[in-house]
Amino acid sequence: MRAISISMYEKPYKRKNKTKTKEKKRYAKNWLTYEEYKKLISLRGKNVKLIHKLLIRFTWSGALRINEALQAKPEYLIEENNRFYYIIPEQKTDKRNWEKQPIDQDIYNDLMDYIELRKIRFQDYIFTGYKGTPFDRTTIYLALNRYAKMAGINKRIGNHTLRRSRALFLLNYAKRNIFFVKEFLRHKNIQTTLKYLKIDKSELYDQMLEAEKKAESENNYGL
């Protein structure tokens, strides 16, 4: 059989390898209002687990990433001068350099009560299932959406929703400025916080003018 020659001007057909592209992480776009958050943690009944509610409150209180919250152990909860903190574990740094994130006293006390009730050892994980293994992200995602539905919240929420919603609460409800929110979220750059909360520069400009007008009216010396 005669061989078929390939001209120097012709390139043999090569099937392109279809490389699997990693999907970009997509956070749930819906955020919770403070009223919706209160509905979520006020749920009662046999289908509502105490450990899930504690995790929701803990994550919200410290504006934590879900993986940070799931690593919680009793040894990471501390009290200093009647202030309460969660020491966020960082595997790549020395323990002495781990970040100290404020949490409210109520969730601190409730977590300590739960730790005592369940006899959780000092270096064991707090948020675990029946077999003692830490919850995974999927379990928490499904639980959050199930509880949202039970609370009548018609939104698709994700593990990151609590962190973002807490930031918006501090900005809009508690009237903290954007720089306070940046520090609370532990962002290195203010631009990250602006994008994170979808705050436009024009909105910042309007707020700046409003603040200046208010300052002038309050300090009018009749000049």
User: Has this prediction a pTM greater than 0.85?
Assistant: no
What CATH number labels 34-221? Answer: 1.10.443.10
Q: How many helices (H) and strands (E) does the chain have?
A: 9, 3
Task: Write the pLDDT tens digit of every residue in 199-223.
Answer: 766 666 666 677 677 777 776 544 4
Calpha distance 91→180 (Å, rounded): 26
Residue 22: the pLDDT is: 46
Q: At what angle do helices 34-41 and 50-61 cross, to 10 degrees?
A: 150
Q: Where are the domains of the chain?
A: 34-221
Secondary structure (DSSP) of 144-196: HHHHHHHTT------TTHHHHHHHHIIIIIS---HHHHHHHHT-S-HHHHHHH
Task: Write the pLDDT tens digit of every residue in 161-185.
Answer: 999 999 999 988 888 888 899 999 9
Contacts for 54-57: CB closer than 8 Å, 24+ residues apart: 54/107, 54/110, 54/111, 54/114, 54/127, 55/127, 55/135, 55/140, 56/144, 56/147, 56/162, 57/106, 57/107, 57/110
**Residue 109 pLDDT exceeds 70:** yes
Mean pLDDT to the nearest integer, 47-69: 96
